[in-house]
Amino acid sequence: MEKLYPLKFQTIFKDKIWGGNKIKTVLEKDFSPLPNCGETWEISGVSGNVSVVNDGDLKGKDLKSLINEYKGKLVGEKVYRKFGDDFPLLIKFIDANDDLSIQVHPDDELGMKRHNSFGKTEMWYVIQADPGSSLISGFNQEVSREKYIEYFEAGKLTDILNREEVNDEDVFFLPAGRVHTIGKGLLIAEIQQTSDITYRIYDFDRVDDKGNKRELHVEEALDAIDYNYYDQYKTNYSRKLNEVVKMVGCQYFTTNKLHFDTNVARDHSNLDCFKILICVEGVLSLEYDQGKIDMKKGDAVLVPATIKKYSLNPSGEFKVLESYIE
């Protein structure tokens, strides 16, 4: 059995009707021969889209077979007991060259009942926002199921949805059930439960290159939606240099932001879980007992559960999202 080390995977590129070029121009990932790229899947255990190791002794092996082989050594004993060979998180970059559809994801209970799948709670970190960009998250007023249906059938759904202006480094936490869409002009890092279940509510009457509209899931969405109104949809967090800042903490994942211009030592001795590091700015090296791995903007690295301590050493300044399950 080969020794575990921090793993980088081959990027999975997704052509989308709303995709653009920022995956190439900002993140420097070549998605040719696709005409555009709406999403990259960086770390995925989703069936049919399982990530394959890009380098090192384990190059060419896929994530599912690695979990089967290494079990808790890779993902953590507690995680392995709960999820088995399924990796619990899905890591993506999303480039919205146009508004995505208005959609909602089911929670665990509904996801299991309907699709034998976990639900989809997710978070977005905005890497880059064009001036005037916005997105939709939740409702802008108290809404009942009946009121929602009334506005939807009248073609006025967007009147009751909460639209937020967005800037670089904004964070949005989206529990399952929250109606949402990513708006035009946003490049986002997404951390989510492993699930590919999306109920598309409204798609702005778009058609693909063959003149076909995409499928909607209007009825399915009704039982999935959280109709509550919340007074805060954007996540407030402290934007401090040289400090580990916790941005999101929920049962599905915890995500910290590390913005440093100096070396930072990380000690996860008390954590029985893998760590995911997503570089959203800068260049650095991840150093651990057995060696080091270079990282740059657009890289996502899976640090095995057995590697408890590592240091991040920058060339200048870096911003890294660090995620795990507590």
| pLDDT, tens digit (0-9, with 9 covering 90-100), for 112-138 | 999 999 999 999 999 999 999 999 999
Residue 301 lies in a domain: yes
* Shared-domain flag, residues 50 and 198: yes
Q: Which residues contact 184 (CB under 8 A, 6 or more apart)?
A: 18, 96, 97, 98, 99, 130, 133
CB 86 within 8 A of CB 79: no
- Rounded CA-CA distance 40/230 in Å is 31
- Do 305 and 178 lie in one domain? The reply is no
Q: What is the pLDDT of residue 196?
A: 87
What is the Cα Rg of the chain in Å?
20
Nearest to 185, CA basis, from 129, 123, 127: 129
Averaged pLDDT of the chain: 96
**Are 125 and 268 found together in one domain?**
no
Contacts of 60 (CB under 8 A, 6+ apart): 52, 53
User: Which pLDDT score, from 0 to 100, does residue 193 have?
Assistant: 97
210 and 265 housed in the same domain: no
Domain with 174 in it: 7-222
Beta strands in 36-185 (DSSP E): 39-43, 45-46, 49-50, 89-96, 102-104, 122-129, 134-139, 161-165, 171-174, 180-181
User: Is residue 200 annotated as part of the catalytic site, yes or no?
Assistant: yes
Q: Are residue 32 and residue 171 in the same domain, yes or no?
A: yes
What confidence tens digit (pLDDT) does each residue in 51-101 have?
Answer: 999 999 999 999 999 999 999 999 999 999 999 999 999 999 999 999 999
Whether 82 and 170 map to the same domain: the answer is: yes
Q: Which of the four pLDDT bands, split at 50, 70 and 90, describes residue 153? A: very high
Residues 144 and 26 in one domain: yes
Q: How confident is the model at residue 213 (pLDDT cuts 50, 70, 90)?
A: confident
155 lies in a domain? Answer: yes
B/e letters for 175-198, b = 16+ CB within 10 Å, e = fewer, are bbbbbbbbbbbbbbbbbbbbbbbe
**What pTM value is reported for the model?**
0.96
Residue 145 lies in a domain: yes
* Structural domain contains residue 233: no
Domain identity same for 253 and 173: no
Average pLDDT of the segment spanning 193-220: 90
Would you say residue 32 lies in a domain?
yes
Q: Which amino acid is at 67?
A: I
What pLDDT does residue 144 have?
97
Residues 177 and 273 reside in one and the same domain = no
Q: What type of residue is 54?
A: N
Asked if 133 and 164 sit in the same domain, the reply is: yes
CB 193 within 8 Å of CB 88:
yes
pLDDT at 209 over 80: no
Q: Write down the catalytic residue from 163, 200, 206, 266.
A: 200
Which of residues 222, 252, 282 is at a domain's end? 222
Fill in the amino acid letter for 152: F
| b (16+ CB within 10 A) / e for 278-311 | bbbbbebebbbeeeebebebbbbbbbbbebbebe
Tell me, yes or no, whether 186 and 254 share the same domain: no
Assign 208 a pLDDT band (cuts: 50, 70, 90).
confident
Q: Is 222 exposed, middle or buried (0-12, 13-18, 19+ CB in 10 A)?
A: middle
Q: What percent of the chain has pLDDT over 90?
A: 94
Q: What is the rounded CA–CA span in Å between residue 159 and residue 157? A: 5
User: How many domains is the chain partitioned into structurally?
Assistant: 2
Query: Looking at the domain assignment, is residue 318 inside a domain?
Result: yes
pLDDT tens-digit readout, 235-276: 999 999 999 999 999 999 999 999 999 999 999 999 999 999
CATH number for the domain spanning 181: value is 2.60.120.10
Does residue 316 sit in the same domain as residue 268? Answer: yes
